[in-house]
Amino acid sequence: MASCYYEWAARSHQHSAPLAGVVKEYTQHEWDAAVAEDCREIVRLAVREDLERLFDWTTLALVPPGTEGAAAIVVRQPGVVCGLRAAEVALSEMDAALQLSDPRIDGDVVEPGTRVGIVKGPARSLLAAERILLNLMGRLSGVASLTRQYVEAVAGTSAQVYDTRKTTPGFRLMEKYAVRCGGGRNHRTGLYDAILIKDNHLALAAEIEGVGHLTPAEAVRRARDFVDAKATSQQTAQMIVEVEVDSLDQLAEVLPEQPDVVLLDNMSPDMLREAVALRDRLAGQVQLEASGRVNLETVASLAASGVERISVGALTHSAPALDVGLDWL
């Protein structure tokens, strides 16, 4: 299971309440043992999908045993290459004799026709691995490439582009790694590594308690008390408390409670600018996150408002695969 930790600006901080100048951050996923293990599980499922513990009958019929081959992995569209580390896992699962040489680095910006690696080894195994390898690389390179477009669109502002949990089931760590390769930032990994209070939490809590409504401010107070009471480990003691609001009145009420991040849901650029000014007056250390209706046409105007974070579900739920092919040498 992936480890859960937080990167702190001040590692000595021991309390859940924020300190001025201290910015908590979600886990940022680089390629590590956890990502590699998720990748290996996905690859094993992909191998079963293609071979069902049987054989590639076409290759057996046409390619003599013992034949060696080599093929270049070629990107056919401009973009950001990602998935070469995943390709190594896919090749090792198919046949330990398959070797990837001369690979580019995940995160490299490439032009059409760029050769990003060469695969050599038993031709039968290479043919069987081809589609699995290309599916992985196309998907991850697509996420990285779309992320780079968003990052470039907000360049020169204080905003950073964050992903969401709107990921392909099973692919979350790999897709978050791809976002990092594209220059983006990772939001929370799952439900287990942060408190993020949304409108459905407020509505359900209010119904259970038989009250008209539970305010975001009251929810943050309860969350802080809960974290303080459960702070038996570094993980819980350092847990981010984020809350969603959809009006400036809610923001004004919640800022004195000093959540780590306030998610501003579906606010226009003008409202976001007012939100930033309000935050600067009341609680300058609180980070603001814009979310909702974010696309490549709107993201620059949202970023110009002065928010620190913009979360974009499209990075993972709408990224088109990059065209990656295998050319035999």
From 166, 221, 222, 273, active-site residue: 166
From 56, 265, 274, 323, active-site residue: 265
Q: In the numeric block, which tokens belong to residue 236?
A: 């819980």
Quick check: is 131 catalytic? yes
Quick check: is 50 catalytic? no
Quick check: is 76 catalytic? no
Rounded CA-CA distance 115/101 in Å is 11
Beta bridge partners of 244: 263
DSSP for 187-209 reads --SSTTS-EEE-HHHHHHHHHHH
DSSP for 73-103 reads EEE-SSEE---HHHHHHHHHHH-TT-EEES-
Q: In the numeric block, which tokens belong to residue 238?
A: 């350092």
In which order are the strands placed within the sheet that holds 68-75? 99-101, 114-122, 68-75, 324-328
Quick check: is 198 catalytic? yes
Rounded CA-CA distance 13/20 in Å is 11
From 175, 242, 244, 308, active-site residue: 244
From 115, 165, 198, 222, active-site residue: 198
Alpha-helical (H) ranges within the chain are: 33-51, 57-62, 84-94, 123-153, 172-181, 199-209, 216-230, 234-237, 248-254, 269-282, 299-303, 314-317
In which order are the strands placed within the sheet that holds 241-245? 160-162, 309-311, 287-291, 261-265, 241-245, 195-197
Rounded CA-CA distance 239/231 in Å is 9
From 11, 48, 131, 230, active-site residue: 131
Q: Which helix (H) or strand (E) holds 115?
A: strand 114-122
HSE value, Cβ hemisphere, 13 Å, CA-based, for 268 = 2
Quick check: is 244 catalytic? yes
Phi, psi of 227 (to 5 degrees): -65, -45
Residues annotated as part of the active site: 131, 166, 198, 244, 265
